């Protein structure tokens, strides 16, 4: 647990030393320094302790991909072709099995931080949400989906630029890493929709009714995408606290909607919460929701930035940071990745 707590202290230390990060250059410097620390912690883990999402399998697959021929790679691999090809190329270039952890960490953190930087000015709070609310924890072990999610985050810029073909190609590339990434296709419409009373009411109705469609959604996923998530059980990413936080972010964003500069995170979080609520009927859909709930990393900072009253804004930022830290520490009491070991130990 101590390593994760040191990481949080490190992030606050950078923020204190650098100040509020008002300029674009200072925000980039903060993200680089924060990213170096996070990538180091994520990549330096000993990979062979018991964890939830098959970390040891991905670690050994990296070495196996290097030894297999190209024909054997596709014949014996149970993973999607994009992920298999990536492992084959990277493992051939860098024949050190530990490198897959560093590579995955650098790629995912880089893509996530790029998304945060492009969609909110409060990068510090955005990074805190990413680290403390569960997205980083998920990326620690679910490598295939983490790569797919990261590519989808990069595709958000194509949505903002209204470039459908590049967006489609990026989502298909993500699906070659993890087929469930295909659920991000509706984002091309969702992320561009306006925020108004009619849309707000429709969003609330969809969120409230979403659990009733869980079984149908899972059956469709199993038939079309062959998700095979029926065997998954609840894990440390579940719980009522994240749902409460998501709800608060959405409601507060609606209150300040006419002052929001960037609504991308909010528009991602709304369907993310709807899918996340389905986990109480079908746990399999919890993983699917992560493609969208990562939008909280920019939705919360943007909602608070839209607050006009300076004192209220400071209070809410402190309250949000304390709540996120408490949630993170609570999860560390039972999350299996809490037993951190460096690979050289």
Does the structure show a pLDDT above 60 at 233? Answer: no
φ, ψ dihedrals at 43, nearest 5°: -85, -20
Q: Which residues, including other chains, have CB under 8 Å from residue 345's CB and lie 6 or more apart?
A: 46
Domain residue extents for the chain: 2-338
What tens digit of pLDDT does each residue of 261-288 get?
788 999 999 888 888 887 766 666 778 8
Rg (CA), the chain: 20
More confident residue, 152 or 70: 152
User: Does residue 227 sit in helix, strand or coil?
Assistant: coil
Interatomic CA distance for residues 306 and 313, integer angstroms = 9
Q: Check: CB of residue 321 under 8 Å from CB of residue 125.
A: yes
Region class of 80: left (phi > 0), else alpha (psi between -120 and 50), else beta: beta
Assign residue 92 a region: left if phi > 0, alpha if psi is -120 to 50, beta otherwise? alpha
* Percent of the chain with pLDDT strictly greater than 90: 49
* For range 108-137, the mean pLDDT: 95
DSSP state of 141: T
| Greater model confidence, 237 or 40 | 40
135-148 mean pLDDT: 91
Average pLDDT over residues 302-313: 87
Looking at residue 336, what is its pLDDT?
Answer: 60
Cα–Cα distance between 76 and 73 in angstroms, integer? Answer: 6
Whole-number Å distance between alpha carbons of 322 and 80: 40
Burial grade of 145 (CB within 10 A; 0-12, 13-18, 19 or more): buried
H/E element, 48: none
163 has a pLDDT exceeding 50? yes
- Those residues whose C-beta lies under 8 Å from the C-beta of residue 62, and which sit 6 or more positions away, are 87, 90, 91, 97, 99, 100
Q: How far apart are CA 23 and CA 27, in angstroms?
A: 6
CA distance 88 to 208: 44
Going 43 to 47 to 52 to 53, the CA torsion angle's sign is positive
Chain centre to alpha carbon of residue 42:
14
pLDDT of residue 254: 80
Cα distance between residue 221 and residue 69, in whole Å: 32
Answer for the pair 296, 269: CB distance below 8 angstroms, yes or no: yes
pLDDT at position 282 is 66
Q: Over range 213-237, report the average pLDDT.
A: 48
Please indicate whether residue 320 or residue 254 has the higher confidence score (pLDDT): 320
3-state secondary structure of 1: coil
Q: Is the dihedral of CA 37, 243, 313, 114 positive or negative?
A: positive
26-82 pLDDT tens trace: 999 999 999 999 999 999 988 865 554 578 889 889 999 999 888 888 887 889 999
- Mean pLDDT, the chain, rounded, equals 84
Q: Considering only 13-17, 182-186, 255-259, which range has the smallest mean pLDDT?
A: 255-259
- Which tokens belong to 166? 């590049």
User: What is the average pLDDT across 174-183?
Assistant: 95
């Amino acid at each position: 647990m101590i390593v994760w707590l040191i990481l949080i202290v490190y992030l606050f230390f950078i923020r204190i030393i650098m100040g509020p990060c008002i300029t674009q250059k200072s925000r980039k410097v903060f993200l680089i320094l924060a990213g170096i620390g996070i990538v180091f912690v994520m990549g330096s883990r000993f990979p062979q302790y018991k964890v939830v999402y098959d970390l040891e399998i991905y670690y050994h697959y990296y070495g196996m991909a290097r030894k297999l021929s190209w024909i054997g790679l596709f014949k014996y691999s149970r993973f999607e072709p994009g992920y298999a090809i990536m492992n084959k190329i990277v493992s051939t270039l860098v024949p050190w099995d530990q490198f897959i952890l560093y590579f995955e960490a650098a790629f995912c953190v880089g893509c996530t931080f790029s998304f945060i930087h492009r969609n909110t000015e409060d990068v510090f709070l955005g990074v805190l949400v990413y680290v403390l609310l569960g997205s980083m924890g998920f990326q620690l072990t679910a490598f295939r989906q983490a790569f797919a999610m990261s590519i989808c985050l990069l595709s958000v810029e194509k949505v903002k630029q209204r470039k459908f073909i590049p967006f489609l190609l990026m989502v298909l590339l993500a699906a070659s890493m993890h087929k469930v990434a295909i659920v991000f296709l509706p984002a091309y419409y969702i992320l561009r929709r306006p925020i108004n009373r009619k849309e707000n009411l429709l969003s609330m109705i969809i969120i409230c009714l979403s659990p009733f469609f869980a079984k149908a959604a899972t059956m469709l996923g199993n038939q079309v995408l062959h998700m095979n998530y029926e065997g998954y059980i609840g894990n440390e990413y579940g719980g009522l606290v994240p749902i409460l936080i998501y709800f608060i972010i959405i409601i507060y964003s609606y209150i300040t909607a006419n002052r929001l500069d960037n609504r991308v995170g909010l528009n991602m979080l709304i369907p993310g919460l709807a899918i996340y609520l389905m986990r109480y009927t079908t746990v399999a859909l919890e993983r699917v929701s992560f493609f969208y709930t990562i939008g909280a990393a920019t939705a919360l900072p943007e909602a608070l930035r839209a607050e006009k009253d300076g004192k209220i804004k400071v209070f809410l930022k402190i309250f949000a940071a304390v709540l996120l830290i408490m949630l993170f520490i609570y999860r560390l009491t039972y999350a299996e990745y809490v037993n951190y070991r460096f690979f050289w130990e």
